[in-house]
Structure 1
Amino acid sequence: MGVAFDYCPERPENIDTILNGLDRYNPETTTVFEEYIAGQCKSQTYDSYANLALLKLYQFNPHLARDETIHNVLVKALTVFPSPDFSLCLSLLPPYVLASSKADKGPPGSGTLAEAVQHLSTLHTQLNNAQYSDFWNTFDHDDLCADLTADVAGFEDTMRIRIAVVVSQCMQEVGRDVLEGWLNFRGEKFDHFVKDVCGWTIDGQKVKVPLNKENEARSVVQRETVKFDQFSRMVKRAYEQPA
């Protein structure tokens, strides 16, 4: 049996009660959800269903929305890429924020929610396009990105692990210099992460990833059964004269 999409093993009982009752639409629960998200940032846990529920409450009650909490929700959604969580979060933000964060509308004002969305969307796009070196370059040289992710404990380590997971799913071997750029690690830190955290091996200038069900090349033979009478009908129609 598959895991339910709203399942979260770390979810407190009071949050679960709210999510499964009418109180999830009660504006008074916004503070409860906000505290819960702050806890997720500190404990390195993640509850997509609860975070989306808060954004929905903000959508219904825009006067209650807190930019800092929205920032944290978006950053936490980044940490589970390549899942669609970040895009789901964006879909619940006010339209004016999304419109003013587009380049063709001009740069958003400094310190606004739209500016934060623009910068985090850049990181999201780079991750989705597997531009991992660009992701780290943007992150390291964009002061706003550093500020936006400051509340999320272990953000950089989490992103390295997520990148490593994607690499393990599609590669058996990768150049050391390439992987160093993707992980933003070099020297002893790189060696430790690759060997001790990932369990991969370093062979000269190559990093080898153990075979698994995702990265193992397998030949697939496609078979299609077509009955003889299907051919006969097709040939007959080809020779029929139009009426």
Structure 2
Amino acid sequence: MVAFDKCETRPAHIDAILNGLDRYNPETTTVFQDYIQQQCEDRSFDCYANLALLKLYQFNPHLLQPDTVTNVLAKALTVFPSPAFSLCLALLPTNTQPFPATSEAQAASQTSDFVESVQKLARLSTLLESAQYTQFWSTLNSDDLYADLTADVAGFEELVRIRIAVEVGKTFRSITADSLEQWLDVRGRDALGKFVADVCGWKVEGDVVTVPTNKENEARSEVKSERVGVDMFGRVIRRGFEQAA
């Protein structure tokens, strides 16, 4: 799980802004925007800084840059199942939400390219959060707009693929190679074998991928015991000998 307010690669000047009053200064938006670009390039992720920028956009709507916002959302997809995407989405204007509440918001959502972009990314988030991995990849590949929205995020597909593998590893001890190929969008048994061996440390044995035991997928029996003393029922026993009123 990605830490909400911690980032080991956060530059000192960004940390100083986040811990001072300048985080509310509209002039710092350009600094945060440059930092978003840096995250896209070096594959880092700083949720706290990104949320601070979205908050500045919320206070200063005229400063909002659609491309920066979609980059923030695309980066948040690469760290699922953390709540980063939902937190970012909650700071955006109401008319950008996947289910506009008013007729005015619905009308705006039909005429804005920015809103369409946000809602498409929200669709990808929903598919990842609900573990519909095959549909995630088919949706991602179904429209060139998705490619445009994720183009600035270096290694987007690889980062998402790794996160999916992490979630699969928490659930399964073994899985068919065919299913894993679809979930990871890795075509060919050789490519799958290389990925699971180099990235995950798993093994492909025939048509089955074996996942080593870990604290998440290990079957453990729990034996719970409770100590119940007579003194705990003292009041009940005493009431049994009391005379009825």
TM-score, length basis structure 1: 0.90
Deviation at 1:99, TM superposition (A): 6.4
Q: What one-letter code is carried by the residue in structure 1 that aligns with 2:180?
A: L
Instruction: Verify the 8 A CA contact 1:100 1:108 in the aligned structure 2.
Output: no
SS of corresponding position for 2:5: coil
Which position in structure 2 is the counterpart of 1:160?
161
Deviation at 1:233, TM superposition (A): 3.3
Task: Flag the 1:176–1:235 CA change in 2: closer, same or farther, 3 A.
Answer: farther
Structure 2: tracts of 5 or more residues without a match: none
Instruction: Verify the 8 A CA contact 1:72 1:149 in the aligned structure 2.
Output: yes
Provide the rounded CA distance (Å) in 2 between the counterparts of 1:47 and 1:165: 20
Q: What one-letter code is carried by the residue in structure 2 that aligns with 1:229?
A: D
Task: Flag the 1:4–1:97 CA change in 2: closer, same or farther, 3 A.
Answer: closer
Instruction: Verify the 8 A CA contact 1:174 1:208 in the aligned structure 2.
Output: yes
Instruction: Verify the 8 A CA contact 2:197 2:203 in the aligned structure 1.
Output: yes
Aligned residues: 241
Which position in structure 1 is the counterpart of 2:126?
125
Instruction: Verify the 8 A CA contact 1:101 1:117 in the aligned structure 2.
Output: no
SS of corresponding position for 1:77: helix
SS of corresponding position for 1:11: coil
Deviation at 1:127, TM superposition (A): 0.5
Task: Flag the 1:194–1:107 CA change in 2: closer, same or farther, 3 A.
Answer: farther
Which position in structure 1 is the counterpart of 2:89?
90
SS of corresponding position for 1:141: coil
Which position in structure 2 is the counterpart of 1:26?
25
Q: What one-letter code is carried by the residue in structure 2 that aligns with 1:214?
A: E
Instruction: Verify the 8 A CA contact 1:100 1:107 in the aligned structure 2.
Output: no
Q: What one-letter code is carried by the residue in structure 1 that aligns with 2:83?
A: P
Provide the rounded CA distance (Å) in 1 between the counterparts of 2:242 and 2:143: 69
CA RMSD after TM alignment:
2.5
1:223 and 2:225 equivalent?
A: yes
Provide the rounded CA distance (Å) in 1 between the counterparts of 2:141 and 2:4: 33
Provide the rounded CA distance (Å) in 1 between the counterparts of 2:234 and 2:169: 49
Deviation at 1:226, TM superposition (A): 2.5
| Mean Cα deviation higher: 218-227 or 183-192 | 218-227
Which position in structure 2 is the counterpart of 1:74?
73
Instruction: Verify the 8 A CA contact 2:178 2:207 in the aligned structure 1.
Output: yes
| Mean Cα deviation higher: 147-156 or 185-194 | 185-194
| Mean Cα deviation higher: 140-149 or 27-36 | 140-149
Provide the rounded CA distance (Å) in 1 between the counterparts of 2:215 and 2:176: 22
Which position in structure 2 is the counterpart of 1:112?
113
Which position in structure 2 is the counterpart of 1:136?
137
Q: What one-letter code is carried by the residue in structure 1 that aligns with 2:192?
A: F
TM-score, length basis structure 2: 0.90
Instruction: Verify the 8 A CA contact 1:173 1:209 in the aligned structure 2.
Output: yes
Q: What one-letter code is carried by the residue in structure 2 that aligns with 1:92?
A: L
Task: Flag the 1:54–1:204 CA change in 2: closer, same or farther, 3 A.
Answer: same
Q: 1:196 aligns with which of 195, 198, 218?
A: 198
Instruction: Verify the 8 A CA contact 2:58 2:91 in the aligned structure 1.
Output: yes
1:210 and 2:212 equivalent?
A: yes
Provide the rounded CA distance (Å) in 1 between the counterparts of 2:150 and 2:82: 19
Provide the rounded CA distance (Å) in 2 between the counterparts of 1:43 and 1:185: 24
Instruction: Verify the 8 A CA contact 1:55 1:70 in the aligned structure 2.
Output: yes
Deviation at 1:95, TM superposition (A): 1.6
Provide the rounded CA distance (Å) in 1 between the counterparts of 2:244 and 2:139: 65
Provide the rounded CA distance (Å) in 1 between the counterparts of 2:164 and 2:241: 58
SS of corresponding position for 1:216: coil
Task: Flag the 1:202–1:4 CA change in 2: closer, same or farther, 3 A.
Answer: closer
Residues 100-126 of structure 1 deviation map (CA, whole Å, 9 limit, x = unaligned): 658x94793365222112111111111
